């Protein structure tokens, strides 16, 4: 595992004062990057993003070119008393950050220093983004994501496959919140499912849910209201085909139970 520490120092010979994690994702099609981040890509329109890619590549671009997405998902800051001494190999002229690998001694020391401060937060010690207050102290150790980062990381966690069908055509795959953000559901990977767009719609409307043992349940109301639904009923009782490899990123049973009780139309 590699940890990236970004820094800007008022005393560059002695201490770091800005420390952050960055989740680095693989390349995604330009349309995906635009849907996830919009004007935060640095341009005003989708067409302008295409022109920017062509300018960087110095050649005409056909179709929907792939571009890299680097997601800074959990920035946080320490108060001055907890600044971390700069490693000996830190150069004063670094302007784009520096990556330290935890397989190396310097990286391991930095990681342990950060972990200690996160594990034992004193009052006023850790200055974190305002969103953290919404989720409580335990949320300090979890990734705080914006909507765009949520989509990118959920897509990566599910290996770009629909959890229910296995579909891998990326333009029709969407990161669905299990407990909606509007209902105080967090932008965390374990509160997400990667679903084909039509299944996402049904999930949000309560015509489909996922039980806490990761089985698909389809509402009988589809047949009652729309006199159809054969495509969806074939998934009834089926286990999810794709879940994240990391247990910590798999759908939270707490959020799944919430969706089943509060949203699903039985």
Least confident of 54-63, 197-206, 235-244, 246-255: 54-63
Residue with tokens 């983004």: 129
Select from 22, 2, 1, 9 the least CA-distant residue to 90.
9
Give backbone dihedrals phi and psi of 87, rounded to 5 degrees, phi first: -60, 155
Is 252 in contact with 191 (CB distance < 8 Å)?
Answer: yes
According to DSSP, the residues that pair with 84 across neighbouring strands are 16
Predicted confidence (pLDDT) per residue in 50-101, tens digit? 788 788 777 777 777 677 666 665 556 666 777 777 777 766 665 555 677 7
Distance separating alpha carbons of residues 173 and 193, to the nearest angstrom: 10
Cα–Cα distance measured from residue 76 to residue 5, given in angstroms and rounded to the nearest whole number: 11
32: closest CA among 186, 122, 151, 176? Answer: 151
Q: Please give the biggest Cα pair distance in the chain.
A: 71
* Contact (CB, 8 A) for 50 and 44: no
With contact defined as beta carbons under 8 Å apart, do 194 and 173 qualify?
yes
Q: Which residues pair with 253 in a beta bridge?
A: none
Render the chain in DSSP notation, one character per residue: -EEEE----SSTTTEE-EEEEEEEEEEEEHHHHHHHHGGGGSSSSHHHHHHHHHHHHTS---SS-EEEEEEEEEEEEE-GGGPEEPPTT--TT--S-EEEETTSHHHHHHHHHHHHHHHSPPTTTEEE-TTHHHH-GGGGGS----HHHHHHHHHHHTTTS-TTT----GGGEEEEESS-GGGT--S-GGGEEEEEHHHHHHHHHTSEEE-TTSBEEE-THHHHHHS--HHHHTTTTPBPS---SSGGGSPPHHHHHHHHHHT---
pLDDT > 60? residue 210: yes
What is the model's pTM? 0.63
- φ/ψ bin of 244: left (φ > 0), alpha (ψ from -120 to 50), beta (otherwise): beta
Contact present, 210 and 256 (Cβ < 8 Å): yes
The string of pLDDT tens digits covering residues 103-158 is 778 777 777 777 776 665 544 444 443 344 443 433 333 444 567 778 888 998 99
Q: What is the pLDDT of residue 216?
A: 98
pLDDT tens for each residue of 158-191? 999 999 999 999 889 999 999 998 888 888 899 9
Q: In the chain, where are the structural domains located?
A: 2-141, 147-262
pLDDT of the residue at 7:
43
Query: CA separation (Å) from 118 to 45, 112, 115, 141?
Result: 39, 10, 5, 7
The rounded distance, in Å, linking the Cα atoms of 185 and 177 is: 8
């Amino acid at each position: 595992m590699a940890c990236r520490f970004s820094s800007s120092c008022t005393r560059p010979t002695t201490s770091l004062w800005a420390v952050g994690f960055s989740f680095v994702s693989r390349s995604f099609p330009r349309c995906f990057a635009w849907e996830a981040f919009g004007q935060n890509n640095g341009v005003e329109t989708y067409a302008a993003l295409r022109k920017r890619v062509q300018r960087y590549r110095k050649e005409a671009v056909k179709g929907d070119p792939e571009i890299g997405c680097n997601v800074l998902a959990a920035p946080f800051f320490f108060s001055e008393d907890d600044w971390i001494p700069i490693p000996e190999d830190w150069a004063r002229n670094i302007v784009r950050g520096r990556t330290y690998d935890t397989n190396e001694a310097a990286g391991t020391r930095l990681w342990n220093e950060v972990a200690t401060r996160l594990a034992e937060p004193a009052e006023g010690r850790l200055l974190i983004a305002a969103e953290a207050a919404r989720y409580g102290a335990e949320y300090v150790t979890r990734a705080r994501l914006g909507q765009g980062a949520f989509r990118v990381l959920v897509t990566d966690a599910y290996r770009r496959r629909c959890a229910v069908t296995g579909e891998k055509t990326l333009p029709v795959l969407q990161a669905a919140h299990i407990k909606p953000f509007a209902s105080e559901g967090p932008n965390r990977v374990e509160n997400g499912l990667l679903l084909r767009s039509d299944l996402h719609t049904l999930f949000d409307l309560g015509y489909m849910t996922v039980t806490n043992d990761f089985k698909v349940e389809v509402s009988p109301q589809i047949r009652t209201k729309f006199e159809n639904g054969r495509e969806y009923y074939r998934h009834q009782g089926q286990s999810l085909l794709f879940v994240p490899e990391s247990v910590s990123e798999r759908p939270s049973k707490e959020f799944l139970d919430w969706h089943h009780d509060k949203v699903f139309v039985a």
